[in-house]
Amino acid sequence: MAVAARSPWRTGAGAALGIAAADGVYALVAVAGGSALVPLLAPVATPLRWASVLVLLALAAASARTALRAHRAGTPPEERPVTAPHRAFWTFLGITILNPMTVLYFTALVLGGHAAAGRAEAAVFVAAAFAASASWQLVLAGTGTLLGHALTGARARLLTGLASSALIAVLAVGLVV
């Protein structure tokens, strides 16, 4: 939402689709790997979780710094640099791929109900996971875009930038708590 609020909708959609692509990859890995995946991920789950925390905290700090600099400089929103949609896609794909809990979640779903699913059922599961994630993430991007258009004042931009940074930091801490 924060990316979409500060950028054109295309950039927010690129970020949203990056997250959905990671969810789709993890769903594919979960149905392909099944029960063999959990023991392989267990030894690296903690380091991956901490890497996720560090990346999220760095993003929160960078977002807060950008909001504060833009506010101090009095830069109007239309003069701020805009991230290209493809760059947002790859950035958010990478951030989401770093989260080992996502693959464990999808593996648990597969093991819980479809461990012996055929190829067609597995393909439907992967497509449905991607479609569900994409639709939700695109709703969030659209909401962020609307908020970005509604909150155009310098103080509102600063507050939304700092609020999004705080939310990212809380999510990072939530990974280890």
Distance of CA 53 to the CA centre of its chain: 13
Tell me the one-letter amino acid at 52: S
For residue 163, the model assigns a pLDDT of 81
Could you read off the pLDDT of 25-78 as tens digits, one per residue? 888 877 877 656 666 666 776 776 787 778 778 878 887 888 888 888 876 555
Based on the number of CB atoms within 10 Å of its own CB, is 70 exposed (0-12), middle (13-18) or buried (19 or more)?
buried
For the cut 60, the answer to whether the pLDDT of residue 161 exceeds it is yes
How far, in Å, CA of 56 to CA of 152, rounded? Answer: 26
For the cut 90, the answer to whether the pLDDT of residue 106 exceeds it is no
Higher pLDDT residue, 133 or 109?
A: 133
- Among 14-28, 103-117, 160-174, top mean pLDDT goes to 14-28
For residue 114, the model assigns a pLDDT of 47
- pTM for this model (two decimals): 0.65
For residue 79, the model assigns a pLDDT of 45
Mean per-residue pLDDT for 101-106? 67
For residue 158, the model assigns a pLDDT of 79
Ranges 63-67, 108-112, 139-143: which has the least confidence = 108-112
For the cut 70, the answer to whether the pLDDT of residue 147 exceeds it is yes
Neighbouring C-alpha atoms within 13 Å toward the C-beta of 134: 13
For residue 18, the model assigns a pLDDT of 94
For residue 138, the model assigns a pLDDT of 93
Q: What is the mean pLDDT of the chain?
A: 78
For residue 101, the model assigns a pLDDT of 67
- CA angle 163/99/12 to nearest 5° reads 50
Return the domain boundaries, the chain.
Answer: 2-176
For the cut 90, the answer to whether the pLDDT of residue 89 exceeds it is yes
Residues whose CB is less than 8 angstroms from the CB of residue 13 and which lie 6 or more positions away in sequence, other chains included: 4, 85, 138, 141
